[in-house]
Each structure stands twice: as C-alpha cells, then as structure tokens.
Structure 1
C-alpha cells in the first residue's frame, strides 16, 4: 500500500461535528426548497405565469429565489398550510361521520318499544303517553 490510509480515529471529533452540521444544513436546504416549490403549486391565487416565474427564479437562482420567496410570501405560506390542514381535517371528519352513520345500527321497533316500556315502568311517562308513543312507533 503506497498511499496513506485514513482511519476512523484519525478524523478529529470537531471534524465529525462540522461534517454533521453541513449535512444537516443541506438536508434543511432541500426541505425548504421543496416546500417552496410545493407552496407555489398549491397557491390558488397565483396565475400560471406567476407560478412559472417563481419556479424559474427558484431553479435558476435557488438560494436567492428561496430567500426572496420566503421574504415576500412567507406569511401567506403559513396561512395556506394551516388552511390546507384544516380542510383535510374537515374532509376526514366528514368521511368518518358519513361512514359511521352508514354502519350505525338502526333502532328497530322492538328496541323502541322496550325503551318506552322502561320509561313507563320507571314512571317517567304515563300510560296515555306510552300508548300514543307506541302507536307512532308501530305506524
């Protein structure tokens, strides 16, 4: 072996931290870049030309483009994300309610009559009220 071999213990601890820091910063940068691109496409108020302009700006000059986008449209970016999350939650809640309503067991006439007789036995309703409610259930 004619070349020098770098072993793990030859790499200083500060070098490990520095490398980890830069790796983290690159991952953060790509996350922010994709977040900006996604926000451009999700924004309903931008027309096609404005979207194309922002995308070209972000692709041609990525650091400056993302920096300017966050400065100019950053506040709206947060609002759009919150409204999108709320819309997703409302859609999910609606779906759950609709599905639960379909699968919920329907009260049969026998169940209704049982409840009415329990109410009459406890004295919560009179015999006349029981007969009136019973006739509604049976018809």
Structure 2
C-alpha cells in the first residue's frame, strides 16, 4: 500500500462517513423545519456545515492530486471519478439548491436537495469502495 493510496483511502472514508451522516441525520432534520423556522434553521445549518465541507473536500482534492502524481491504477481512477461526481453534484445541484433555499422554505426545492444528497452518498460509497480495492 502506497502512502498516496492510504491518503486517498482515508479521505474517501472520511467523506463517506460525513456524507452518510448528512444524508441520514442532518438533511432530514433540516427538512423537518417548517416554513416558520426555516430561515433560522437554514442559516444555522449553513454556518455549521460550510467549514466542514471545505475541510473534507480539501482533503479529497489533496489526496486525489497526490494519487494522480503517483501513477494511479484503474481502481484509483474509479475512486477519483466517483469523488469528482460527488463534487459536481455538490457544485451544480446541492450548492445552488441551498442558495435558493436561503431565500425561503420551498418543499419542492428541499425534495430536490434530498435527491441530490442521495446521489452524493452513492458517489461517496463508490469512491470509498474503489479506494479500498485500490489499496488491497
């Protein structure tokens, strides 16, 4: 097992744990906030989660770049592609949904955010699984 492979495995495992927590606990709790509590709940969520997202995605970028520099094998490529998919869903679906939801409670947008979040969880699961296989 290479050091870069270990770093990628650690980063994808942390991401999977974070993403599973968000999908199973955090977003369902946020979605239950009614329209009367929505502005405060959404602002509190955003303030709390943004630094953690930056840290986790920063770790994924660093580990991914290191893996690329050390000559990735096929399963490392799968892990990197799945990680990129999660990042793209974040950039093009989840982040814009949060921005729109900052303006107010909208059940359809909340449902869309939950769907995007499940896609991120699936991508994180594929990434971590591929990283396990790549380091075996």
Structure 2 length normalisation: TM-score?
Answer: 0.30
Q: Which has the larger radius of gyration?
A: 1
Structure with the higher helix share, 1 or 2 = 2
Structure 1 length normalisation: TM-score?
Answer: 0.29
Greater RCO, 1 or 2 (C-alpha within 8 Å, sep 6+): 2
